[in-house]
Amino acid sequence: MRDDQGGYRSEMSDAENSDAETINAVEGYAGDITGPQAWNILSNDPTSILVDVRTDAEWRYVGRADLSQLDREPLYVSWQLFETRDLNPDFVAEMNSALGTSDADAETPIMFLCRSGVRSQSAAIAMTGQGFRRCYNIAGGFEGDLDENQHRGINGWKVDSLPWVQ
């Protein structure tokens, strides 16, 4: 959403903004947030939801966000199919089914996580299009962006020392 100065502003609530400012809010979804911002929202809003949109192979072999200290579990819905990397044609239906079991509504904060923040941005846009107004992309994702040597680990959930399990 544009602010009065022509830039973009976040649609985060005051509670969501209390820990840190938004990296980038854009049209099409509520905006990009950091892993620590996502953790703060999850810690302070029991209705908030973390959705990991990576593939089953990534969940199994790279690791997963661990929300056990919050007595919660992320939702796992792949944006792309593992073998072909094609878009999951059932993504929206699978998300709607998963969100239906959580009593989510249009104002529920939903944070999307992938490897580096690309697939999760697409997922946030898709679910915003389904009427969920507070869909956020976790910038940097689980593993982060590539460094000058093409290795991941300069940012992201793991680098931010947020809880995760193998």
- Per-residue pLDDT tens over the stretch 22-81: 445 567 899 999 999 999 999 999 999 999 999 999 999 999 999 999 999 999 999 999
Q: What percent of the chain has pLDDT over 70?
A: 84
Q: Is residue 160 part of a domain?
A: yes
Distance (Å, whole) CA 160 – CA 34: 9
Q: Tokens representing 133?
A: 């107004």
pTM, 2 dp: 0.83
More confident of the two residues 28 and 123: 123
- Judge whether 59 lies within some domain: yes
pLDDT for 11 beyond 80: no
Question: What single-letter amino acid sits at 7?
Answer: G
Question: Residue 53's domain spans which residues?
Answer: 14-165
Indicate the average pLDDT of the chain: 85
Domains contained in the chain, number: 1
Q: Which two tokens stand for residue 96?
A: 């709607």
Residue 3 lies in a domain: no
In sequence order, what DSSP letters do the residues of 55-95 get, joined into one string?
-HHHHHHT-EE--GGGT---EE--SB-TTT--B-TTHHHHH
Q: Binning pLDDT at 50, 70 and 90, where does residue 83 land?
A: confident
User: Is pLDDT of 15 > 80?
Assistant: no
Residue 84 falls inside a structural domain: yes
Would residue 128 count as lying in a domain?
yes
- Token pair 């973009």 is found at 8
Contact 36, 156 (CB under 8 A): no
Residue 111 has pLDDT above 90, yes or no: yes
Residue 152 banded pLDDT, cuts 50, 70, 90: confident
Tell me, what CATH number does 81's domain have?
Answer: 3.40.250.10
